[in-house]
Amino acid sequence: MPIIDADVHNYAVPMSPELDKYMSKRWVEYLRTMGIYHTRGGGERPRQRQYAHRTDSIPPSGGRPGTDPDFAREQLLDLYGMSGAVLNDIAAAALVTGSDAYPFALSMEIVRAYNDWRTEWFAADPRWYASINVPFEAPSEATKEIERCRNDSGDRFVQVMFCGASDEPIGRPRYWPIYEACEHYGIPVGIHAAGGKRGTPSGHTNYYFEDHTDFALVDYPIVSSLVFEGVFDRFPNLQVALLELGWSWVVPFAWRLDASWRVLRDEVPHLTRKPSEYLREHFWLTTQPMEEPDVPEALTGMYELLSQAGMDERLMFSSDYPHWDFDPPEAVDTMPGPLRRKVLGENASRLYGIPLRAGTGARGRA
Partner 1 sequence: MTAVGSALERIDPRRHWDGAVIDCDVHAAVPSLDTLYPYMDTVWEHMARDRGWFGPYGAAATYPPNAPSTSRPEWRAENRAPASGLDLLQKDVLDPMRVERAVVNCYYGIDTLRHPDWAAAIARAVNDWIIADWLDKDSRLVASISLPARDPAAMVAEIERVGDHPGFVQAFLPIRSDRLYGQRVYHPVFEALTRHDLVLGLHWGGTTEDAPSVTGFPSWYVERYAAEWQAYAAQIASLLAEGVFKAYPTLRVAVFEGGFTWIPQWGWRLNKEWKGLRREVPWLDRRPLDLIREHMRFSISPIDSGPPDALARIVEWLGSEDILMYGSDYPHWHDDDLGDLLPHVSETMRSNIMSETARAWYRL
Q: Site residues for partner 1, window 158-177 (CB under 8 A)?
A: 164-172
Cβ proximity to partner 1: between 208 and 357 the closer is 208
Among 13, 101, 124, 217, binds partner 1 (CB under 8 A): 217
Binding flag, residue 44, partner 1 (CB under 8 A): no
Cβ proximity to partner 1: between 15 and 207 the closer is 207
Cβ proximity to partner 1: between 119 and 220 the closer is 220
User: Nearest distance from residue 219's CB to partner 1, in Å?
Assistant: 8
Among 15, 154, 209, 353, binds partner 1 (CB under 8 A): 209
Could you give the CA distance from residue 297 to residue 95 in angstroms, rounded to a whole number?
41
Among 20, 144, 183, 208, binds partner 1 (CB under 8 A): 208
Which run of H or of E encompasses 300? helix 297-308
Q: Give the CA distances from residue 84 to residues 87, 130, 210, 273, in Å, rounded to whole numbers and listed in that order.
A: 10, 10, 32, 35
Cβ proximity to partner 1: between 73 and 212 the closer is 212
User: Nearest distance from residue 360's CB to partner 1, in Å?
Assistant: 29
User: Nearest distance from residue 230's CB to partner 1, in Å?
Assistant: 10
Could you give the CA distance from residue 25 to residue 252 in angstroms, rounded to a whole number?
52
Binding flag, residue 49, partner 1 (CB under 8 A): no
Cβ proximity to partner 1: between 144 and 172 the closer is 172
Binding flag, residue 252, partner 1 (CB under 8 A): yes
The contacts of residue 1 (CB under 8 Å, 6+ apart) are 340, 341, 344, 345, 361, 362, 363, 364
Q: What angle do CA 127, 177, 175 make, to 5 degrees?
A: 95
Amino acid at 5: D
Binding flag, residue 200, partner 1 (CB under 8 A): yes
Binding flag, residue 263, partner 1 (CB under 8 A): yes
What are the two backbone dihedrals, phi and then psi, of residue 261, each rounded to the nearest 5 degrees? -65, -35
Q: Is the peptide bond before 322 cis (omega within 30 degrees of 0)?
A: yes
Binding flag, residue 178, partner 1 (CB under 8 A): no
Per CB under 8 A, which of residues 50..89 are in contact with partner 1?
Answer: none
Among 251, 280, 355, 357, binds partner 1 (CB under 8 A): 251
Binding flag, residue 327, partner 1 (CB under 8 A): no
User: Nearest distance from residue 139's CB to partner 1, in Å?
Assistant: 15
Binding flag, residue 254, partner 1 (CB under 8 A): yes
Per CB under 8 A, which of residues 304..323 are in contact with partner 1?
Answer: 305, 308
Positions of E strands within 231-297: 240-243, 283-286
Binding flag, residue 298, partner 1 (CB under 8 A): yes
* Count of other CB atoms within 10 angstroms of residue 153: 18
Would you call 337 helix, strand, or coil by DSSP?
helix
Binding flag, residue 249, partner 1 (CB under 8 A): yes
Beta bridge partners of 203: 200
Could you give the CA distance from residue 168 to residue 20 in angstroms, rounded to a whole number?
31
Site residue total, partner 1 (CB under 8 A): 73
What are the two backbone dihedrals, phi and then psi, of residue 90, each rounded to the nearest 5 degrees? -75, -15
Scanning 65-73, 180-188, 258-266, 279-287 for contacts with partner 1 by CB under 8 A, the matching segment is 258-266
Let me know: does 322 contact 57? Beta carbons within 8 Å: yes
Q: Give the CA distances from residue 125 to residues 77, 122, 146, 349, 363, in Å, rounded to whole numbers and listed in that order.
A: 9, 6, 22, 17, 23
